[in-house]
Structure 1
Amino acid sequence: MHKTLLAVSAALAVTSIPTVALAQASPLSFNVSVTSDYRYRGISQTRLKPAIQGGVDYALPAGFYVGAWASTIKWIEDAGGDAKIEIDLYGGYKGEITKDLSFDVGLLQYIYPGAKTAAWNAAYKDPNTTEAYGALTYGPATVKASVALTDLFGNYDFAGGNSSKGSVYLEASAGLDVGAGITLTPRLGYQKVRNIANASYTDFALTASKDFSGFLVSAGIVGTDANKSFYVPGFAANSTKFLGKTGAVVSVKYSF
């Protein structure tokens, strides 16, 4: 990106990182997907272009789970690095507090193999990032908070010597059954980036999805109020596209 590396990493607004169900027939599950634009917290990771994605989840006894997810990306190359994929490793614990209230806590590691090269923009640190997260779900509604335990995707205030560690992302969403097998999912999020001017923003998405014999087809609108001069591709892309603009995203995911 031009001034920040926050247009990074994992989990599409309409098909985010897969999570493990509290109860499932097999403890091991896989998924593959294609999407018209990989949006992470509303910001495109693929310069508004398609991505191929896939993941694996394993449900351990007593509510514990681990998983891995990967996607093609463009933002690292745009910033002078050499990573063409993002790999996410995560693990956590899920459980029920009451019949209608459940929780999910865990750690998530974003990895960008080969990101730092001689051409990597010196204004940024290592983009590999660790986050801790916690979520509460009541009925169809979920609220979630994620906290960066490292610099957030390489963002660092070199002039002031200030880290973006401790940056927070808050989100609320709901999965609403509107009939005919269609689920409507509104989502609202806020990314607070510590010590980086013009980096914080609000994002939103409204997605409709339906399962067709294991193929989950989703279509939605996603956008942000992010700074339009801040969230643009890196110098190597030779582009001034706003990566957080409001737009349509379509995806197809197959789980097995």
Structure 2
Amino acid sequence: MMKFACTAVALGVIATASTFTLAEESKLPFPGAVSGNISVVSSYNLRGMTNSPESDTPAIQGGLDYSHDSGFYLGYWFSTLTAAYADFNTSPTYIPKEKKSFENDFYAGYKGKITDDLGYQIGGTIYYYYPGWESTGYETIVGLSYKDFTVTAQTLLNNVTFGNKGDTYFLATYAPKLAGDFTGKVQVAAYYYGDDDEYLAYQAKAGDVTKTDFAFRHATLGVSHPLGETGATWNLDYIFGGYTRDETKQKNKVVLGVGYAF
């Protein structure tokens, strides 16, 4: 029943947002452009973590983005979670206490062009999960893009409850336009794992301690299409599960989403 209620509320928000029309784009009191998005997904599987998703029930997600003609950008993104993040203490006798959390991502950076088709990106993200400062992560991102193809590398700068300093997530994405207003998505991802395990060592019973330096993380095949004339878009992804730092094989999974951009 809770799954249905969550989904119904999110779809209602999207449907309501899609009814708004503007005669003309309002002029901002400062240079640049602001955009937003809201969506609901059947489950939230952070970077291919299908065995232990951030949300194993429908999650509401959304954000706001600012971009400047110079290439500078900044934004905020959020997601509801069902996963619990532990409140850790460095004392060896301390017992972690799990608390429900909420994801907040704050990011900024710069996107530039080398040629008309070749671009680059450099920036950073702060991941803040409430509650629990031990889960607050700082990450850099560098990337290259060529037409519909993008490659990025995101590196953690500190130890957190979900990763170690130096962990780097490599992601290659190809998103071509297809016939009939469809858009395709092909992704392949891998992880380089640091081995400090400052916080992960407390989760040894769950098998979270680092055992491998590098592993295939996931592959994703997806497709999206406008949802009639509503302004919303539906998307369907199939995740091929890879391996986590403890060499656990992640299961394959289908994820359905509906979103609205404004």
The aligned counterpart of 2:251 is 245
1:111 to 122, 125, 128: 128
Q: Does 1:172 align with 2:178?
A: no
Tell me by how many angstroms 1:153 deviates. 4.1
Match of 1:69 in 2: 77
Moved segments of 4+, more than 4 Å = 227-231
Within the candidate set 38, 42, 63, 2:44 is matched to: 38
1:214 Cα deviation after fit: 2.3
**2:84 aligns to what SS in structure 1?**
helix
Q: Which residue of 1 aligns with 2:221?
A: 206
Q: What is the CA distance between 1:154 and its match in structure 2?
A: 4.3
CA distance 1:227–1:193, change in 2 (3 Å): closer
Please list the CA deviations of residues 116-142 of structure 1 after superposition, one character each: whole Å capped at 9, or x if unmatched.
6xxxxxxxxx12111100111101111
Out of 192, 196, 217, which is 2:234 matched to? 217
Relative contact order higher in (CA < 8 Å, ≥ 6 apart) = 1
Counterparts of 2:184 and 2:77 in 1: how far apart (Å)?
24
* 1:197 corresponds to which of 208, 211, 214: 211
CA distance in 2, matches of 1:228, 1:172: 20
Report the CA distance shift for 1:165/1:46 in structure 2 as closer, same or farther (over 3 A): closer
Cα distance change of structure 1 residues 172 and 229 upon mapping to structure 2, 3 Å threshold: closer
Partner amino acid for 2:132? A
Q: Which runs of 5+ in 2 are unaligned?
A: 1-24, 26-31, 87-95, 196-209
- Residue 51 of structure 1 is aligned with which of 53, 59, 69? 59
Q: After the TM superposition, which of the residue ranges 37-46 and 95-104 deviates more from structure 2?
A: 37-46
* Distance in 2 between residues matched to 1:55 and 1:110, nearest whole Å: 14
Q: Is the 8 A contact 1:145 1:169 kept in 2?
A: yes
Distance 1:154 1:207 in 2: 26
Report if the CA contact (8 A) 1:199-1:226 is conserved.
no
Structure 1 counterpart SS, 2:236: strand
Higher helix share: 2
- Residue 28 of structure 1 pairs with residue 34 of structure 2: yes
Query: 2:188 & 2:84 partners in 1: Cα distance?
Result: 26
What is the CA–CA distance in structure 1 between the aligned matches of 2:213 and 2:44, rounded to whole Å?
Answer: 19
Structure number, greater radius of gyration = 2
Q: Distance in 1 between matches of 2:54 and 2:75?
A: 23
How far is the alpha carbon of 1:197 from its aligned partner? Answer: 1.8
1:127 is matched with which residue?
135
Q: How many residues align?
A: 204
Distance change >3 Å, CA 57–CA 93, structure 1 → 2? same
The answer on whether the counterparts of 1:83 and 1:115 sit within 8 Å (CA) in structure 2 is no
Deviation at 1:227, TM superposition (A): 5.1
Gaps of 5+ in 1: 1-24, 117-125, 156-163, 232-241
Separation in 2 of the partners of 1:249 and 1:84?
A: 21
Could you say which residue in structure 2 is the equivalent of 1:10?
none
1:81/1:115 contact within 8 Å kept: no
1:200–1:111: structure 2 CA closer, same or farther, 3 Å change rule?
A: farther
The percentage of aligned residue pairs carrying the same residue is 28
What is the TM-score normalised by the length of structure 1?
0.73
